[in-house]
Structure 1
């Protein structure tokens, strides 16, 4: 029984008793107690007093004692849950069953008088794999160094019940792979999982038909009817729905995050996901932010976003055929740890340099392959005219520059300049650096493309 399963189990009990999920400090008390850490350690991590953590712990132990019919304290919390786990089995009549990754809490009054109906109900409430539609999800061959991100997703989705999560970053950075890995680890915790790609977008009406095709009981003529049935489903079941390549429903040649007219209804869906009470989660995978992800107070809205940067581990070049392992990290840093860039440049180095990275690096050139050029050409073409001007000007500077310096060299109104600068950050093509003053720079590989090809 690992710590994630413990936190999930306790969260379920607390939700059944109070109607609320564990908050961050409560989850930390459960995790810290399981790991045999002191209240003082937990308090320092969350910048609260030891007494506050102790009070939260006391409330949790009292609640768990009532729910589990056990005298639970900090000192016996781990041993008690381990004992419950060991005693549980598919044929036992114990009150609390913990089967692998699927934790189920049963009320004592039900299990004191077991019968066939109860056992059938138990079986029918298990997650059913035929409700997991992952035909459009990618297969993962390698997964590297995203353990922190996986833990974050687990906490958001399974502890905090975050309704809307965006996974954001440049193409090739590993967004889709991260989410598929999360699903592979935790798919039995969901009643239903659906993965859909918007690479070739469909209208919201057709998407709803698709999502409801296994559940729709009646003819639903309007989008509002379909939305109501979808949210009934999201409320009654723990569902996980993934929409990949979300950026394709936005208008090209304009600022980031503006919906194409035929996909404007998606905005209604996302707002409903945020504002409606349910127990499910949507994950949006995108190269640019949508307006619904912008929030000044996360406490008011159950939304989260995770911005991915490149990887910096030499092991990502394993099995590429490249030589000179002592130079692998240099190559990775040169191409920002972006797996798409690294795959493309690795093929070139194998073909032209017989895999000798040292020979390639000796030329001291940030080479842009044909595959990268095609990708960046589409990226640049989809920018608004204002963004293109900013990118072309910014590409002239070797070092990061301030907003004021950049503005002076452009013939743009203040509104167009600021909107363009914000939009490029939302596309992850420009990085903001906080030093004595705020500075901006282009993504280095994209900058090299702009310099040489635009």
Structure 2
């Protein structure tokens, strides 16, 4: 799809909404955004002020959002328009009318033709409602490619609590729900046995579970084979053993490992997404061509739009706030509340304190994490927290009384939990995130492992 098609469609949407066609500056803004240019670059090239270009852009996105019934902004404009066009057939472009209907050349038409055989089963009862979605466009595209182009059977969405894993997956479902015959979302926040989980999945698909676990697995994989299914398991980290290295299953949930292996080793057309704060052993493969598995590790956001409509002031300082709190959505949410209550929303006054404030919500999150990890990992973190810059593996090992086995396993486990960063270059260095380091320094230094 080229920019001419996008301009034509945007022009019709604007005409339908306002009675006016795109003017030259609006076309220039759309073309520049399509080419990935910043507002500053667009302004320089068309010899207009940046504030004027931004104003035109804001009005465009607002009109398009109202026309399409979903949030449209600079960062998702092209992707959203292309998705809407690709998923629809357009006709009657004249007389200020735009009519479109969904294509029926894929799963939808099959459902109509085959009737009850391909009946849809959607259970998103406990999936979150997404009121606002910022950034993560490339991650959505990655999921689309893995699931709908490469037919990857098992996918992990990984990262710290609050980083946006669950939101990302739900947004993907909102965009592509019609491509699946079965979508089931389950949380393992309070995990149940595999036997009960499979009963639940089968009941959702209106099948009576058979007596033995082997027969139930056969039933489940018949569904995964005959239908295009998407099953989401959230909070997977809760089936792992606390105070041990990452990814060690609790005895009562050990058979989940069997299920995950079967997902990758059995031929079928469906997909399972695992959302977790730590990596499952099954998600590590020396040959990605051999086993259809992928892992998507989420880092912080870079788009300051996440702070819009939050009541914060001094927009020119928002990027500094984003950097200070590593773009972590939960950290930004909780610090925004503090800035509004204590500084009347003035970000510049908060930043003038020149201190990395750890809110009570952050303390609670880090406390849960620190108290759950193994004693060896705690020792490594305490040692790292005393360093103001990244350190080498050799330097870190000298400061600890650990065997090579415990030290290496501890470092690997901490990486699987996304608590330390590995910095590659001439030398390999390890570091804590600034926020976690500040927490450990202030609240964990008297801790005895």
Give me the TM-score of the superposition, normalised by structure 2: 0.75
Q: Would the aligned equivalents of 1:127 and 1:188 in 2 still touch at CA under 8 Å?
A: no
Say if 2:187 is the partner of 1:180: no
Distance 2:105 2:239 in 1: 38
Structure 2 SS opposite 1:193: strand
Offset at residue 214 of structure 1 (A): 3.5
Distance 1:360 1:230 in 2: 54
Provide the residue aligned with 1:435 in structure 2.
425
Q: Would the aligned equivalents of 1:101 and 1:186 in 2 still touch at CA under 8 Å?
A: no
Q: Would the aligned equivalents of 1:101 and 1:188 in 2 still touch at CA under 8 Å?
A: no
Distance 1:330 1:453 in 2: 25
Q: In structure 1, which of residues 280, 293, 296 is the aligned counterpart of residue 283 of structure 2?
A: 293
Say if 2:149 is the partner of 1:149: no
Q: Would the aligned equivalents of 2:108 and 2:179 in 1 still touch at CA under 8 Å?
A: no
Distance 1:219 1:241 in 2: 18
1:316-341 CA deviation, whole Å, 9 max, x = no partner? 10111111111101001111101100
Offset at residue 314 of structure 1 (A): 1.0
* RMSD of aligned alpha carbons: 2.6
- Number of residue pairs matched by the alignment: 355
- For the structure 1 residues 217 and 186, does the alpha-carbon distance in structure 2 shift closer, same or farther, using more than 3 Å as the test? closer
- For the structure 1 residues 217 and 327, does the alpha-carbon distance in structure 2 shift closer, same or farther, using more than 3 Å as the test? closer
Say if 2:213 is the partner of 1:213: no
Provide the residue aligned with 2:258 in structure 1.
268
Give me the TM-score of the superposition, normalised by structure 1: 0.74
Q: In structure 2, which of residues 276, 284, 306 is the aligned counterpart of residue 316 of structure 1?
A: 306
Q: Would the aligned equivalents of 2:107 and 2:180 in 1 still touch at CA under 8 Å?
A: no
1:243-262 CA deviation, whole Å, 9 max, x = no partner? 00100100000100000001
Say if 2:102 is the partner of 1:100: yes
Q: Would the aligned equivalents of 1:353 and 1:359 in 2 still touch at CA under 8 Å?
A: yes
Task: Give matches, 1:386-425, under 5 Å.
Answer: 386-425=376-415
Distance 1:283 1:301 in 2: 15
Distance 1:426 1:137 in 2: 25
Distance 1:396 1:241 in 2: 43
Say if 2:244 is the partner of 1:244: no
Deviates more, 1:441-450 or 1:235-244: 441-450
Structure 1 SS opposite 2:105: strand
- For the structure 1 residues 219 and 407, does the alpha-carbon distance in structure 2 shift closer, same or farther, using more than 3 Å as the test? closer
Distance 1:106 1:293 in 2: 32
Distance 1:402 1:194 in 2: 44
Question: Which ranges of structure 2 fall in alignment gaps of 5 or more residues?
Answer: 3-33, 35-85, 92-99, 445-449
- For the structure 1 residues 349 and 229, does the alpha-carbon distance in structure 2 shift closer, same or farther, using more than 3 Å as the test? same
- For the structure 1 residues 192 and 218, does the alpha-carbon distance in structure 2 shift closer, same or farther, using more than 3 Å as the test? closer
Q: In structure 1, which of residues 437, 442, 453 is the aligned counterpart of residue 443 of structure 2?
A: 453
Say if 2:322 is the partner of 1:332: yes
Say if 2:156 is the partner of 1:166: yes
Question: Which ranges of structure 1 fall in alignment gaps of 5 or more residues?
Answer: 3-34, 36-81, 88-97, 108-117
Distance 1:85 1:326 in 2: 42
Provide the residue aligned with 2:63 in structure 1.
none
- For the structure 1 residues 102 and 211, does the alpha-carbon distance in structure 2 shift closer, same or farther, using more than 3 Å as the test? farther
